[in-house]
Amino acid sequence: MLFTSFNFLLFLGALLVVYSLTSKKYRWFVLLVGSMVFYSFAGPFFLLYICSTIVITYICTSIIKRLRIKRDAEIALAVEKVEKRAIREKSKKVAKAWTAVCLVLILGILAVVKYTDFVISNINNTMGLLGYARQFGLLGLALPMGISFYTFQTVGYVVDVYREKAEIQANPLRLALFVSFFPQVVQGPLSRFGELSKTLYSGNPITRVNMARGANRILWGFFKKLVVADRLWPALVVLTSYPEEYQGIYYLLSIALYAIILFCDFTGGIDITIGVAELFGIRLPENFNRPFYSKSIQEYWQRWHMTMYHWFRDYVFYTMAASKRMLKFSKSAKRFLGDEIAKRLPVHITLIWVWFLTGLWHGATWNFIIWGLANGIVIMVSLELAPLYARYNKRFSSLTSKRVYQAFMIFRTFWLMNMIRSFDIYETVGITFNLMLSVITNFSLQQFLQYGVSTLTLPFIDYIAAGVGLMVVFWVSWLGRGEIDYRDKLDTFKWPVRYAVVGLILFMTLVLGAYGHGFDARQFIYNMF
């Protein structure tokens, strides 16, 4: 059920009514039923996957809880410190084993569904290159909606339980709501149990303030999705479907269009997610902080899809970089590489591994793997050159402090990120590299001046509509600068101005939005992850 569909609005309205008529004590259960109903629209069979994840997580964490109760009881009876330490170590070892079992099972579901055909196809290709005629058949498993998001969110909960940073949820139905909460199960953001549980189960009443703020955020998501992203999408389809025709300057146009479309599509979906949760008085984490103002790739990822960035940082990077094996490897490498390189080696190895996993998480294709590795390599090189950058900035402080230089860094990061992201939109890695090279070998400004965008099947009026919408998006981004919610800034205006702004955005969404059959919009890009 698409967020920007009429069916979703009917579903949301009905759920709000039932929620408001239910007593506070059972409102969380209404949200659970609503979440399962919502998920079943993607395919009733897919409920088996998410329910399996919930059951596995509940059983394993319940065992860990019983182990801790037993541990605390034994420690209370113990007298010697050595005995208490032994009890803790034994309990931690068993808890670690059950945590590993849980993670293997729930990540195994994701791996089988998402990556089996990718592995089989690569085995077939390798066998073909070696001269073997035999080929293994693909399983063709359908990818359940949001499986990457709810799996990672559940993994975070399990790890936090092991680290004793999250309370173990004793009620399996409450745990089910955390895993399946319908606004965020589609495309995030990835929440931590300790934060989300503060409002998820509270049964907050539906208030005028929450309705106004939530509806405002939902409207803003609709605007970005329908007026900008969906309006420009057909032109991008033409550009990427015929890479042999649209090269050089058209390649630059395609990656710039994709940056705009992806930003408005993804952030629009997150706006709707956060707004829907706010209607019920539930707070979800922000996922974006004006990423196109970034001055480096590393800063960009600290601003874009922030919850995913924090997830990989906290659960993969820190865990691996600070592990005993990695520290031991670093120590042994000193004999061959010296102290300085050996100290940085764990960070760089872990960085590349994290970005390999990030690419693989986005999709089971070599395009996404190369995309992830490219991000990791650029960030690694930037870290190595950081001392040089610092000396340069100090030496030419009068230049680097100017706004023109800061704008140049933003401009450079924008296009570098776009070129890396172009692996997302073309069919193969080879095609993507050829198009990158075409900027040098086949850059025809005359061709663009002659034909422009007239061959992209999109009426010129659509570019005007999307351009106006993009100007509004830029204005709102500027309005919310300094990490201030644009709605808070809007609330400082007098009420006629506030109502005029909201009314204008609503009018533009209704008039300029791109609607398909049945007044439904195109699917969100991140739904496929």
pLDDT tens digits for 66-90? 999 999 999 988 878 889 999 999 9
Residue 182 pLDDT = 96
Reported confidence tier of residue 527, pLDDT bands at 50, 70, 90: low
Using DSSP's 3-state secondary structure scheme, residue 359 falls into helix
Least confidently predicted of 124-138, 179-193, 356-370: 124-138
Tens of pLDDT, residue by residue over 314-362, are 999 999 998 888 888 888 888 887 887 888 888 999 999 999 999 999 9
Reported confidence tier of residue 304, pLDDT bands at 50, 70, 90: very high
Block residue for tokens 């929450």: 210
* Cα dihedral 418/354/525/15 (nearest 10): -140
Least confidently predicted of 124-128, 266-270, 453-457: 453-457
Residue 516 pLDDT exceeds 80:
no
How far apart CA 81 and CA 106 sit, in angstroms, is 37
How far apart CA 205 and CA 211 sit, in angstroms, is 10
Q: Is the sign of the CA dihedral 203, 204, 210, 211 positive or negative?
A: positive
Residue 271 pLDDT exceeds 50:
yes
